[in-house]
Amino acid sequence: MYKIAIHSAKIADPDSRERQGIVYLCTMSKKVRVRFAPSPTGGLHLGGVRTVLYNYLFAKKHGGDFIVRIEDTDQSRYVPGAEEYIFDCLRWCGLEPDESVQHGGNVGPYRQSERKALYKKYAQQLIDQGHAYYAFDTPEELEQMREKNKTAENPSPQYDQHLRHKMRNSLTLTEAEVKNLLDQNTPHVIRIKMPEGKTLSFTDLIRGEVSFDTSTVDDKVLLKADGMPTYHLAVVVDDYLMKITHAFRGEEWLPSAPVHLLVWQYLFGWEHMPQWAHFPLILGPTGKLSKRDGAKYGFPVFAMNWKDPKSGELTEGFKEKGFLPEAFVNLLALLGWNEGTEKEVYAIDELINAFSMERVHSSGAKFDYEKAKWFNHEWIKKSSASRLLPFVRNQFEKANLIVADTDQLEKVIDLVKERCTLLSDFVEQSRFFFERPSQIDTASILSKWSPEKEAFFSSLIHYYEQTHQWTAQELEKILKDLALSQSLKVGELMLPLRIMLVGGKFGPGVFDIAALLGQQETLQRLVQAKQLILKGI
């Protein structure tokens, strides 16, 4: 149980200097409930996953519930498959919701489009209270208003206290006119009536006190002409109905916080309002991270591959790029938060244990792909071969590399994992264990070839044929003894041997390779390569 202090909003009237601010301190223990509320309009990017993560960590840390609510109130932006995709991403990351469209729960439905009927009542309540009004302006009229009032100093005029009296709404029309328009089902929206000259403030868990002058905020639409709520109404109504105790979202929402504060106050009272926290943005090289940045700078932005059903455009995800979910979660956690120690590699349970909202930064963080790869490398190194196995098999499949022997594959994984930064690196790093190299870099051998070496490898093959101890140690001993007896430098023999076995200058220790390859395969490769060298190819 997490003790929550509800005292996070105040309103002040500068004229009367009266702080009608109401500071509540609620020490009652209440089950923590947080939500992630994505709009199913496309791929789930880094910032979205990090928002999920921080919500999840906070909930789990305090024994609370993590809820996913689908914000699909904009029907024009509906993208088939996007909702399913979001849950797939969360599953891959291991961040399973406690309640959602897919997980059930008793404060549903968890899809806002299915809650449509609910919102109207609250919008009506605001009208009845005088805190909202009907507006009949058409999109064209709004456009005209913006054009007409646009000046150099004010490039984007707002539907606010200065202009609302010039528009067609229930504040300017007579009661009879409004009734008539309503009776005729004239398309209309419901707008909040922002009060004038009040200072609204609340305590953000990350930023401390944030305040706004209501005179600078416009009359946001709460209920759209199609009867759907906008985010501003839905977020408040649903957070209330779903008993959300802590509302966390990206910093891009901060400017509209005063609207939400007011709706909370009018509809439910601040004593029920969740505690707010606005996470810093994750920035790309040129500002707010976008999938375009990814395409431009060569790194993934989405959690998983996303194919836009309309354009068919495919955007690569971290999963398919070869990231381990543990690493992805780890690197995201550290982008905007740290424990205050020098620890950087965390498993999810360690994150849950160490996480605290107070240590989330208030400044934006630029995403660094190099560091992201480092996290993945660390996780590959520390993961067991059996953990890595399914991921590696998946990569092999994509590369048409079929390996039946699991034991052998696990041995290979252990041998090569320290040189794999991405899971996809396993293919090139271990292919030669299972397939003869298609290319042999004989040029590197030929440049220093000699009759002495020719003789050496002939006898090496002979001795390797004779031995019954096919171990790395034994193979090394045979080679060294032989080199000594023929007065050759070991160093000049290792590279040719390596190239004969793997095709190039890479891979783990050459005797480990030979040991794993087995006697028969090793000998065949040596014989074959030697023939190529003999022919001078």
Partner RNA sequence: GGCCCGUUCGUCUAAGGGCUAGGACACCACCCUUUCACGGUGGUGAUACGGGUUCGAAUCCCGUACGGGCUACCA
Tokens of 187: 């398309």
Which listed range, 237-245, 354-362, 385-393, 466-474, lies at the site for RNA (CB under 7 A)?
A: 354-362
Instruction: Using alpha carbons, list the distances in angstroms from residue 470 to 466, 515, 518, 521, 527.
Output: 10, 6, 7, 12, 17
Active-site entry in 60, 291, 319, 453: 291
Q: Mark whether 291 is an active-site residue.
A: yes
Is position 334 an interface residue for RNA (rule: CB under 7 A)?
Answer: yes
Is position 63 an interface residue for RNA (rule: CB under 7 A)?
Answer: no
In the chain, the N- to C-terminal Cα span, in Å, equals: 73
Instruction: Using alpha carbons, list the distances in angstroms from residue 287 to 47, 66, 74, 291, 408.
Output: 13, 30, 26, 12, 47
Hey, which residues between 80 and 99 contact RNA (CB under 7 A)?
A: none
Tokens of 8: 């996070």
Hey, which residues between 227 and 286 contact RNA (CB under 7 A)?
A: 228, 230-231, 251-256, 280-281, 283, 286
CB 190 within 8 A of CB 159: no
* Residue selected from 241, 295, 352, 365 as contacting RNA according to rule CB under 7 A: 365
DSSP 217-246: S---EEE-TTSPBPHHHHHHHHHHHTT-SE
Phi, psi of 282 (to 5 degrees): -95, 125
Collapsing DSSP states into helix, strand and coil, what is residue 34?
strand
| Angle at which helices 46-61 and 82-93 cross, to 10° | 60
Phi, psi of 534 (to 5 degrees): -60, -40
Hey, which residues between 130 and 149 contact RNA (CB under 7 A)?
A: 137-139, 142, 146
* Residue selected from 14, 104, 187, 518 as contacting RNA according to rule CB under 7 A: 187
* Residue selected from 403, 472, 495, 523 as contacting RNA according to rule CB under 7 A: 495
Tokens of 360: 């989330």
Is position 494 an interface residue for RNA (rule: CB under 7 A)?
Answer: yes
Hey, which residues between 32 and 61 contact RNA (CB under 7 A)?
A: 37-39
Q: Which CB, 296 or 361, lies closer to RNA?
A: 361
- Could you tell me the smallest distance in angstroms from the CB atom of residue 197 to RNA? 13
Which listed range, 6-14, 83-91, 361-369, 452-460, lies at the site for RNA (CB under 7 A)?
A: 361-369
Is position 371 an interface residue for RNA (rule: CB under 7 A)?
Answer: yes
Q: Which CB, 47 or 317, lies closer to RNA?
A: 47
- Could you tell me the smallest distance in angstroms from the CB atom of residue 90 to RNA? 16
Closest CA to 95 of 66, 130, 121: 66
- Could you tell me the smallest distance in angstroms from the CB atom of residue 275 to RNA? 16
Q: How many CA atoms lie within 13 A of 69 on its CB side?
A: 32
Beta bridge partners of residue 169, listed in sequence order? 135
Tokens 């994509």 identify what position?
398
218-236 as b/e: b if 16+ CB within 10 A: bbbbbbbeeebbbbbbbbb
Phi, psi of 62 (to 5 degrees): -105, 15
* Residue selected from 292, 381, 382, 462 as contacting RNA according to rule CB under 7 A: 381
Q: Which CB, 105 or 157, lies closer to RNA?
A: 157
* Residue selected from 4, 189, 478, 500 as contacting RNA according to rule CB under 7 A: 189
Q: Which CB, 363 or 400, lies closer to RNA?
A: 363
CB 305 within 8 A of CB 311: no
Is position 510 an interface residue for RNA (rule: CB under 7 A)?
Answer: yes
- Could you tell me the smallest distance in angstroms from the CB atom of residue 105 to RNA? 19
Q: Which CB, 349 or 370, lies closer to RNA?
A: 370
Closest CA to 334 of 303, 361, 297, 309: 361
* Residue selected from 73, 169, 170, 315 as contacting RNA according to rule CB under 7 A: 73
Q: Which residues contact 178 (CB under 8 A, 6 or more apart)?
A: 134, 170
* Residue selected from 51, 55, 100, 158 as contacting RNA according to rule CB under 7 A: 158
Size of the site for RNA (CB under 7 A): 85
- Could you tell me the smallest distance in angstroms from the CB atom of residue 5 to RNA? 16
Which listed range, 31-39, 118-126, 403-411, 455-463, lies at the site for RNA (CB under 7 A)?
A: 31-39
Q: Which CB, 30 or 350, lies closer to RNA?
A: 350
- Could you tell me the smallest distance in angstroms from the CB atom of residue 271 to RNA? 23
Is position 128 an interface residue for RNA (rule: CB under 7 A)?
Answer: no
Instruction: Give the per-residue contact string, 390-429, with RNA (x = CB under 7 A; - = no).
Output: ----------------------------xx----------
Give catalytic residue positions: 291
